[in-house]
Amino acid sequence: MSTDDLANELTRRTENAPQELLTRAFFFFCAVLSIVTTVAIIVLLTTEAAKFFSLTASLLGVEGQTVSLVDFFTGTTWQTSTGEYGVLPLVAGTLMVVIGSAIIALPLGVGTAIYLSEYASPRLRSKLKPALEILAGIPTVVYGFFALIYITPALGTVLPDIAFFNMASAAIVVGIMIIPMVASISEDAMSAVPDELREAGYGLGATKFDVSAGVVVPAAASGIFSSFILALSRAIGETMAVTIAAGSQARFLNPIDPTAYLEGAMPMTAAMIQLLTGDITGGGLAYRSLFAIGLTLFAITLLMNVISDLVAARYREEYE
C-alpha cells in the first residue's frame, strides 16, 4: 500500500459510505413502517365504515344497502338478520364491562401498588412483580373460560337467578385481567416519588399508612390516573373473555342498574366476533358494520390513550 492509498484510507469520510447509507435506510424504513400501520388502520376503518353509512356511501359511489348515521348511533336494537344496526345496546354492554371491571380493578390495583411500593420488602417485591407479569401474560380466552366455568357458578350460589351468560362474570374477569396493568403502572409512579417526601412525613410523626395515603398516593396521582385510563381502555378493547362469558344476545340494558348485570348482553367487541363467526359475505352490509364498530372502538381507545398521555404530561411532578 503506497502512502497515497494510506492517506486516502485514513482520511476517508465514512458517513456516506454505502454500508452506512444502506443500514440507515433500513432502520428508517422500519420506523416509517409504524406510521404506515397507523395510516393503514385509519384509512381502512374509515373507508369501509364510510361505505356502511348512507350519508357517505354515495360519495364513494357504493350501491346497495346502507344505514343512516342517526339510526346507527341512536338505534336501540342490534339485529343484523332484520337489518337493524343500532349500536347503543353494544355500547351499553361495553360500558357495563368498563364500570364493573373498574369497581374490581381500580381499588385492588392501587392497593397492590401501594403494598409493592411501600410495604413489601425488596426480596418479596422481586418475587411478586414477575408473578404479576405472568398474570398479565395469560391469554384472554383462558380468562373467558375461567369466567364461564368458575365465576358464573360461584355467583350462582349467591344470586340464584343469574343467567348462564351474564355481564357480572364478564366484568369481574375483565377486572381481574386489568389488575396487573393498574398495579404495575401505579407502582412505577409511586416508586418514582423521592424518599425525601416520605422521610419528611415520618419526621412529622406520621405512620406508614399516613405516609402512603397522604404523601405517596397524592404525589403519584398523575401516574395512577393514567394507569386507570390505560387499563379501562384495555377493558373496552377486550374481546375474547367477554365474548365467551357474556353471550351473544344483544340486549339494551341500563348500565347503572345493578340487576342488569345478572343478564347477558353483547359488548362491541363480542358483536364483532359474533358477526364473523356467523355467515357474513365479503363486502356485504354486515361486513361493513364490522368496520363501523371497529372505527367506534378505535376512536374511543385512541381518545383515552391521548387523554392518558396528556394527563401524565400535564400533571407530572418533576423530581430531581
Partner 1 sequence: MPSRVISPAGSARHLASIAIVFLDVLPPLVWLGYVLALALPLAASVAIERVDRQLPFLARFGLLAALLVASLLFVPGVVTSMPTVPTGSIIVAVTLGGPIAAIVGRFAAGRLENRRTGLAVGGGSFLAVLGAAFLGSSVGLAALPATILTSVSLVPAAAYVLVVAIDRPGRRIGLLLPAVVFGGALLGAVVVDAMNFAGPNSWIDWGFLTGVHNSSSAAAAGFYPVIGGSIILMVIVAVLAFPLGVGTAVYLEEYAPDNRFTRIIDVNISNLAGVPSVVYGLLGLGLFITYLGESPGTALVGGATLGLLILPIVIISAREAIRSVPDSMRQASYGMGATRWQTVKNVVLPEAFPGILTGTILAIGRAIGETAPLVVVGLPSVIYSLPTDLSSSVGAMPMQIYAWASLYAGPGFYNSAVPAGVVVLLVVLLAMNSVAIALRNRYQREN
What is the smallest separation between the CB atom of 316 and partner 1, expressed in angstroms?
A: 15
Greatest CA separation found in the chain?
A: 94
β partners of residue 261: none
**Closer to partner 1 by Cβ: residue 18 or 205:** 18
Cell of 7: 492517506
Handedness of CA 202, 204, 209, 215 (dihedral sign): negative
CB closer to partner 1, 200 vs 313:
313
Name the minimum Å distance from CB 240 to partner 1.
5
Spatial distance between the Cα atoms of 236 and 200, rounded to a whole number of angstroms: 40
**CB of 284 closer than 8 Å to CB of 266:** no
- Interface with partner 1 (CB under 8 A): 14-15, 17-20, 22-24, 26-35, 37-38, 40-41, 44-45, 48, 126, 130, 133-134, 137-142, 144-145, 148-149, 230, 233-234, 236-240, 243-244, 269, 272-273, 276-277, 282-283, 290-291, 294, 297-298, 301-302, 304-306, 309
Using the minimum distance from each CB to partner 1, give the nearer residue, 185 or 215: 185
CA 60 – CA 47 distance, rounded (Å): 9
Q: How far is the CB of 218 from partner 1 (least distance, A)?
A: 26
d(CA 243, CA 272): 9
Nearer to partner 1, 43 or 159 (CB): 43
Q: Residue 169 class from Cβ within 10 Å (0-12 exposed, 13-18 middle, 19+ buried)? A: buried
Q: How far is the CB of 317 from partner 1 (least distance, A)?
A: 21
Q: Which residues contact 55 (CB under 8 A, 6 or more apart)?
A: 68, 69
Query: For residues 14 and 121, which CB has a smaller minimum distance to partner 1 in the complex?
Result: 14
- The least distance separating partner 1 from the CB of residue 214, rounded to whole angstroms, comes to 32
